[in-house]
Structure 1
Amino acid sequence: MAHVQVVSTVFGVGCVENDEIAILDTPFPHAGAVIEATGSLDVLTRCSVRERVALQGATLLAPLGSPRAVWGVGLNYQSKAAHTGRGLPSEPILYLGAPSAVLAPDAEVAVPSGRTVEMDYEGEVAIIIGRRLYRADPEQVWPSIAGITAANDMTARDVMRATATPTLAKSFPGFNPLGASVCTVDEFADRDCIPVRTWLNDELRQDDTSAGMIFSVPDLLARISWFAALEPGDVVLTGTPAGTGQDRGSYLTPGDRIRIEVGPVLPLVTTVAAPSRDHPSAG
């Protein structure tokens, strides 16, 4: 597999080349569509370049569009378990998030008015499926992964306590920023030690690697596949390390800026906007 870092822009799908984006001659609207149709990003390496635009200041769209399925896992880092004092789970704590929660890079997410006062960030490594996984063994997982990106798996902690339902606490519009780019696995120096860092208003809050996961990427995806088929384009969020607002007893407020970095993936930046009532659950 060729080394590729893909973005989606208002001009079309492009590959990042130093400080430029090479806009490709392809009918696909985003990387997610490429993966769903072909199982990888390889086809993009054979596309001609239509034009080049500066990376700095470019408007980037959600690189995966609206994925059909977004899986998540709770308590999957040793550091998070140690901070909470909870025992290590013997099985992954899994949930499905609403695809409508996906947000583009450099966008704003509003506090859901009347629904939460404990809006929190969670920097995570997001895995994009390239080949169908069903009843898979762990060694089958890495060859079936099409790409990796950054995720901010935002959570309304008070909604989580009140409902005991992660899907509800994480599915408000804009609560799942993804991006800014999608990298092939070969872009990472060590696929079993992927760094994830989160800054809140330029203060480093989370700093860990996937080596600190309780259930590794191959183990986690294989376990999901024992019960549900993972299809090309599906996204698996792999958990968050210690350092969230929950760990500090402080939550997001309007004006806060969250920046998440996952290895060579372009930084995923999200800003918290004023409270909004523009969704059906607003009271």
Structure 2
Amino acid sequence: MHVVMTSAGIGRIEDGGVAVLDAPYPDPTAVIEATGSLDALAGAKVVRRVPLDDAGPGLLAPLARPRALWGVGLNYRSKAELTGRPVPDEPVLYLAASTSACAPGSAVRLPAAETAQMDYEAEIAVVIGRTLDRAAEREAWPAVAAITAANDMTARDVMKRTGAPVLAKSFPGFTPLGASLLGRDAIADPGAIGVRCRVGGELRQDSSSADMIFAIPELLARISRYAVLRPGDVVLTGTPAGTGQDRGDFLRPGDDVRVEVDGVLPLTVQVQA
């Protein structure tokens, strides 16, 4: 199942277009919270069909109100190697404010009074479909509802100054999510999901989940040892090498940032003064 949120309601991507659905849910998050997956949309009546190009400019956030936004600080070997940091024995976990989430195509304000180091982080985002409480790894992936693309933006100097990821990552719009959701059953291998980032059309990050230090099932299981993951929670799974921090080149007003995750529509945002 490949799902988007349009101004007319929930849509299924099929045959190169968007089938707008007559579904008893306000958005995909409500479907996941109520049923544990996106499968309930498979039999929904199609109200109308529109070309994907026509729907694209009007796509809304498929996860407009995530319950919780989890992240992991260092989860790609390429990032550890480039920065010379040791591979961690435990994931470095944090939460960001859910109010930082924004829709694909948004203009994200650079909070210049607080940061001169606004950075991009292309990430695979995992949406939880069933409760995970001290779960085993074998239980974690079956509890996933979908994946999507995320840009886990970070104010690097705020992080250094405060030591608080929640402050560095919670500015309005700093967690773009979307532009579509790909159901778990459509993902052949969670250990081979590609993720890329382009800034102004230039490829900056290019990797896959195969390079993760803690694979997605292990990461979810580890989080669930300390906190219960519930339907609708979103887990950002780390970013590969090539961020602005790595390059010494941070985002500026006017920059277009595009995150690509295999199987979902590209997530784009523009940095605004």
Indicate the TM-score class for this superposition, using the shorter chain for normalisation.
over 0.9
Q: How does 1:199-278 map to 2 (within 5 A)?
A: 199-274=198-273
Q: Match of 1:37, as an amino acid?
A: A
5+ residue gaps in structure 1? 275-283
Deviation of 1:31 after TM superposition, in Å, equals: 1.0
1:158 aligns with 2:165: no
Deviation of 1:65 after TM superposition, in Å, equals: 1.4
Root-mean-square deviation over aligned CA pairs? 0.8
Provide the TM-score with structure 1 as the length reference. 0.94
5+ residue gaps in structure 2? none
- Contact 1:22 1:49 (8 Å CA) reproduced: yes
Cross-structure match for 2:192:
193
Question: Per the alignment, in what secondary structure is the counterpart of residue 226 of structure 2?
Answer: coil
**CA distance in structure 2 between the partners assigned to 1:25 and 1:128 by the alignment:** 23
Deviation of 1:188 after TM superposition, in Å, equals: 2.7
Deviation of 1:221 after TM superposition, in Å, equals: 0.5
Cross-structure match for 2:30:
33
After superposition, what is the alpha-carbon deviation per residue over 1:189-245, rounded to whole angstroms, capped at 9, x for unaligned?
422111001111111110111010111111110000001100001000000000000
- Contact 1:149 1:183 (8 Å CA) reproduced: yes
Cross-structure match for 1:129:
128
**CA distance in structure 2 between the partners assigned to 1:36 and 1:113 by the alignment:** 37
Cross-structure match for 1:106:
105
After superposition, what is the alpha-carbon deviation per residue over 1:77-135, rounded to whole angstroms, capped at 9, x for unaligned?
00000011010111110001111000100111010130101000000000000110000
Aligned length: 271
**CA distance in structure 1 between the partners assigned to 2:54 and 2:42 by the alignment:** 24
- Contact 2:126 2:147 (8 Å CA) reproduced: yes
Deviation of 1:33 after TM superposition, in Å, equals: 1.1
Question: Per the alignment, in what secondary structure is the counterpart of residue 197 of structure 1?
Answer: strand
Q: Match of 1:168, as an amino acid?
A: L
Q: 1:5 aligns with which of 2, 7, 13?
A: 2
Deviation of 1:64 after TM superposition, in Å, equals: 1.1
- Contact 1:19 1:56 (8 Å CA) reproduced: no
**CA distance in structure 2 between the partners assigned to 1:243 and 1:30 by the alignment:** 34
Cross-structure match for 2:43:
46
**CA distance in structure 2 between the partners assigned to 1:9 and 1:191 by the alignment:** 27
- Contact 2:64 2:102 (8 Å CA) reproduced: no
**CA distance in structure 1 between the partners assigned to 2:81 and 2:186 by the alignment:** 30
Provide the TM-score with structure 2 as the length reference. 0.98
After superposition, what is the alpha-carbon deviation per residue over 1:4-46, rounded to whole angstroms, capped at 9, x for unaligned?
1000010000001133110100121221111011111000001
**CA distance in structure 1 between the partners assigned to 2:28 and 2:220 by the alignment:** 21
Question: Per the alignment, in what secondary structure is the counterpart of residue 46 of structure 1?
Answer: coil
Higher mean Cα deviation, 123-132 or 48-57? 48-57
**CA distance in structure 1 between the partners assigned to 2:228 and 2:2 by the alignment:** 26
Q: Match of 2:130, as an amino acid?
A: R
